[in-house]
Structure 1
Amino acid sequence: MTAEQTKALLVGVQLPQQHKFDYSMEELANLAAACNIEPVGEVRQKSARLHTSHYIGSGKLQELKTMLEACDHPAVLFNDELSPAQIRNLEAELKCEIIDRTMLILEIFAQRAKTREAQLQVEIARLYYMLPRLVGSRESLGRQGGGSGLRNRGSGETKLELDRRRIEDRIAMLESELEKLVSRRQVLRKQRRKNEVPVVSLVGYTNAGKSSLMNAMLEVYHPDTDKQVFAHNMLFATLETKSRSIELPGNRSFVLTDTVGFVSQLPHHLVKAFRSTLEEVAEADLLLHVVDRSNPDWEVQMEVTRETLRDLGADHVKELIVYNKSDLTDEPYPRLTKNSIYLSAREKRGIDELSAELTKRIFQDFVQCEILVPYDKGQVVSYFNSHADVQATAYEEDGTRLTMSCRIADIDRYRDDIQILEDARPF
């Protein structure tokens, strides 16, 4: 344990019909670890409802006080978002740092944000979270400067001393700056649409291996590239949408986008702030739903991802399930089923099979054909050599014969300049 690491007690309330409670508490511990906080104990309660004043009942509150004294008064992490009144009451009663699940996730995002866009999105989310909590949350929300735990940590301009008007003014200013960055990305997106380049988005739970899969594809198809993305075995390693062009054999290229990972109970302020980034997902031609198949809770994580996609309005986009980290399971791989593929991004096993499946799914507008191009239309031959999969070239009396697969749109574009020798048929 480092000198800066903070100890904390975890507190959660299991409500009726809450079947994933054990998993959510385990995830809370993982979130704490991602924020350099060491869980040293737990208090759990089964209840029909959350207590409006202190989140937990009086008996559990007394048990928590006893544990705090025994552990030298660590911080307390709560498994839900607390109301402003609950934060005030708990601080007054427990005399320690109170951190709720939302505050914890926001802090992790603040630490991970590297680009200006991600930093703006995180700060906007944190300011929205602070607005209703300005009164009486002196200890838990004051995070300016150095120190341990969440107290006095994070990006600037989020001091509690900012009054509501100043916070609202700052939100407006940040949103205006963010809008300029978003509009720039929207222009790029429209350009891709104009050029008819398919877009495939990587989605999935945080730390499922989305960035590792993107890097594996880049290494296989662009071994000399220096455009690999940051990939690390930690929660929320990726907060920025990264797009890379992937060119498969046969001059078939598509754009692969890597997006922020999902987690259960993702704070709505964050979803709202990152909505512009996550729009990439809703507009994709195909989703690669990456699943950490080695995680014992992979089915729960799949369900959380699909719930988040529904919230984003992206549940209509076709998906291919990618069971990653199959090398850490007993599942045979690489293996393709009806709507899923088992592979290992770390070992780069299954990448060719994945690419073949992508070719079938996103290049449905390709046709196989034979054409004859007059010799005075040499630019047409050059175009198809660059943009189509030319399998054979023959030089005949009347022109150049090309046997190839290409986009229907390209055939239509040069229909007046070529002679189609064999009817175009689906590739």
Structure 2
Amino acid sequence: YEILSLIGLLLYLPVLFTKKGPEDRITFIRERLGLSKYDKVDIWLHAVSVGEMIAALPLLKAIKQAYPEKRIMLSTITYTGQKVAKEKCSEAHRIMYMPWDSSLILRRVIKEASPLVFITIETELWPNLFRNLKKHNTKILLMNGRISASSHRGYSYIKPFIKHVLSLVDVFCMQDEISAKRILSLGAPRERVKVIGNFKFHLSAPSSLPKWTEKIKGIIISAGSTHRGEDEIILKAYKDIKVEEEHVKLIIAPRHPERFKEVEELIKTYNMSYIKRTEIRDTKESIDEDVVLLDTIGELSGVYACCTIAFVGGSLVPIGGHNILEPAYWSKPIIIGPYMDNFPIVEDFIKSGAAFTVKDEVEMANTIKKLLRDKKALEEAGAKAKEIVNKNIGAVERAMEVLRGVL
């Protein structure tokens, strides 16, 4: 693996110097290659991207509240994850990009930082990082762990190797019984595996909701975290809905910033009036355009708060779905596609009538129109979604009990 990692690094070097996104490229390169200076810290918390970072926020705040003197180093891999961390994680002593998983790079980083505990969010398994951390007697905790069906299949092909990597982890805090069974089947020691629930249920309202959403009058359909192949389905469904519900507005939020322009061009092909979020000024009295393209990061929860019905992306295409819990927190009926493997609890939402599965634009349009015609059904679906969230709160508190045992 070490040799493969070094080969991967050599292949990655051109990307490192040309990758779009990082505003401070010098810092990005230095941190990925482990060339920065590292202060001593107590806890190193790693969250690969935006979803994991948002999931980690309540844990980070709970740690700082319980242990205000502890220094926390926070790492991400993606630029968007880094951006969210810098906006929302003032509790961290340092925020950085994760160094490449090579012992040549990691040895110095770990020696200088000397973390007592390393926490990885969801299922980020880094063989060289884990091996070098154990040489420094660092406790390794996998928090909010999950193993999707596809990941489980992939890991099964290299089970002896994965079993060795898993043996380096001190505690596995899994989201649900399904993920716990999958990680046990891959070789995780049974006595180290716990089911504590999902951090993403530990939701709270943003300190302030986006004011610009108040300028949209009438019914709002939100489409959050969309991927290529979904936007066209959404726009076709919206066009159909508009025939019956003239005052309906659509807010569409692509998952990845590099797709903002692509989705804008797609909206143009449907001859719909639209405005980009970044073009909305305080002086604008009302938003009368059909579509708002959310070309910002960090406002999606606020959009879910103001919408009437929410579609959760990554579910009409085989991505595995994104966070169904955010719109549920705001008591919104939820539309999803058939691909929601990342959230096994989606079955509870479907069975209770809080979420509705569609496979194409026809089903999406018909489902939304049916809900809009029946105000009582709309409200009941939203209430059931919120009820499921309330029943599943407590994962962060259970994670803190585990952390207290190793600090």
Same fold (TM over 0.5): no
The structure richer in helix per residue is 2
Which of the pair has more CA radius of gyration?
1
**TM-score normalised by L of structure 1:** 0.28
| Greater length-normalized contact order (CA 8 Å, ≥ 6 residues apart) | 2
**Which structure carries more strand by proportion?**
1
The alignment's TM-score, normalised by the length of structure 2, stands at: 0.29
